[in-house]
Amino acid sequence: MGSIGAHAWTFAGGGAFTYRADRPVVFSVEGCPLCRGAHAAPGAVLCDYYAGTFRHLFRTLVTSRARVAQTACQAAGAAACSFTITW
């Protein structure tokens, strides 16, 4: 997680990246550049790019069984875009 956090500027831009390393792992991007200025219906998610990137990283570096679900989206009114990673 530390390596991903250290390089978060490459995908979070000016947003703030945080993570919780428990199981399940939770990644969050507050100030998500993909959602800046976007509006989505409640419950909708717009960050497929991040979900796909996190899935690929975890499947390559941790386990091929990794699954990623976006659980919150700023464009839909959440405080941050959040992703849950399970395996």
Range of the domain at 53: 2-25+33-75
What total of structural domains would you count in the chain? 1
In a domain, 66, yes or no: yes
Quick check: 87 and 63 in contact, CB under 8 A? yes
The per-residue DSSP string of the chain comes to -HHHHHTTHHHHTTSEEEEE-SSSEEEEEET-TTTTT----TT----HHHHHHHHHHHHHHT-TT-EEEEEE-GGGT-SSEEEEEE-
In a domain, 71, yes or no: yes
Kindly report, residue by residue over 35-67, the tens digit of the pLDDT. Answer: 999 999 988 999 999 999 999 999 999 999 999
In a domain, 86, yes or no: no
Task: Pull the structure tokens for residue 42.
Answer: 């409640």
Kindly report, residue by residue over 72-85, the tens digit of the pLDDT. Answer: 999 999 999 999 99
Looking at residue 65, its pLDDT comes to: 98
